[in-house]
Amino acid sequence: MTAGKAAARRPARTGRRPGNPDTRRAILDAARTTFAESGFDGSSIRRIAGRAGVDPALVHHYFGTKDDLFMATIEMPIDLPAILQRVGAAGIDGLGERMVTMILTVWESPAGAGLAGWLRTALADEGRARLLREFVVGSVAGPFAASLGLPEAERNRRTGLVMTQVLGLIVGRYLLFLEPVVALPPAQLIASVGGTIQRYLTGPLPDGTA
Amino acid sequence: MTAGKAAARRPARTGRRPGNPDTRRAILDAARTTFAESGFDGSSIRRIAGRAGVDPALVHHYFGTKDDLFMATIEMPIDLPAILQRVGAAGIDGLGERMVTMILTVWESPAGAGLAGWLRTALADEGRARLLREFVVGSVAGPFAASLGLPEAERNRRTGLVMTQVLGLIVGRYLLFLEPVVALPPAQLIASVGGTIQRYLTGPLPDGTA
This model of the complex carries an ipTM of 0.77
Residues B100 and B65 placed together within one structural domain of the fold: no
Mean pLDDT within B150-169: 93
Residues B174 and B128 placed together within one structural domain of the fold: yes
Last residue of a domain, one of A74, A107, A129: A74
Total residue length of chain B: 210
**For residue B15, is it within any domain?**
yes
pLDDT tens for each residue of B125-154: 777 777 878 888 888 888 888 888 888 889
Quick one: which H or E segment has residue A74?
Answer: helix A66-74
Residues B55 and B146 placed together within one structural domain of the fold: no
The CATH number of the domain holding residue B143 is 1.10.357.10
Residues B92 and B176 placed together within one structural domain of the fold: yes
Mean pLDDT within B167-187: 94
Supply the mean pLDDT for chain B.
85
A72 CB neighbour count, 10 Å cutoff: 18
**For residue B49, is it within any domain?**
yes
Contacts of B176 (CB under 8 A, 6+ apart): A122, A123, A129, A132, A133, A167
Residues A127 and A189 placed together within one structural domain of the fold: yes
What is the 3-state secondary structure of B21-87? HHHHHHHHHHHHHHHHHHCCCCCCHHHHHHHHCCCHHHHHHHHCCHHHHHHHHHCCCCCHHHHHHHH
A120 CB neighbour count, 10 Å cutoff: 19
B206: chain A residues, CB-CB within 8 Å:
188, 191-192, 195
Query: Hey, are the CB atoms on B165 and A161 less than 8 Å from each other?
Result: no
**For residue A209, is it within any domain?**
no
Gap between the terminal Cα atoms of chain A: 68
Residues B126 and B193 placed together within one structural domain of the fold: yes
* Nearest Cα to Cα of residue A15 among A93, A68, A94, A90: A68
Question: Dihedral angle at the C-alpha atoms of A62, A63, A64, A65, nearest 10 degrees?
Answer: -140
Residues B52 and B137 placed together within one structural domain of the fold: no
B27 CB neighbour count, 10 Å cutoff: 26
Last residue of a domain, one of A74, A104, A138: A74
Supply the mean pLDDT for chain A.
85
**For residue B210, is it within any domain?**
no
**For residue B209, is it within any domain?**
no
Give residue A9's pLDDT band: very low, low, confident or very high (50, 70, 90): very low
Query: Hey, are the CB atoms on B167 and A171 less than 8 Å from each other?
Result: yes
Query: Hey, are the CB atoms on B180 and A165 less than 8 Å from each other?
Result: no
Question: Does B2 have pLDDT greater than 80?
Answer: no
Residues B85 and B8 placed together within one structural domain of the fold: no
Residues B180 and B112 placed together within one structural domain of the fold: yes
Q: How far is B105 from chain A (nearest CA, A)?
A: 16
d(CA A22, CA A26): 6
Residues B66 and B97 placed together within one structural domain of the fold: no
The count of domains in chain A is: 2
Q: Does A113 touch chain B (CB under 8 A)?
A: no
Give the domain extent around B164.
80-202
Question: Does A149 have pLDDT greater than 80?
Answer: yes
**For residue B207, is it within any domain?**
no
Residues A47 and A98 placed together within one structural domain of the fold: no
Mean pLDDT within B153-168: 94
Residues B39 and B101 placed together within one structural domain of the fold: no
pLDDT tens for each residue of A24-58: 999 999 998 898 888 888 899 999 999 999 999 99
Best mean pLDDT range from A196-205, B82-91, B119-128: A196-205
A180: chain B residues, CB-CB within 8 Å:
137, 141, 156-157, 159-160, 163
pLDDT tens for each residue of B26-53: 999 999 889 888 888 889 999 999 999 9
Q: Which pLDDT score is estimated for A142?
A: 85
**For residue B110, is it within any domain?**
yes
**For residue A115, is it within any domain?**
yes
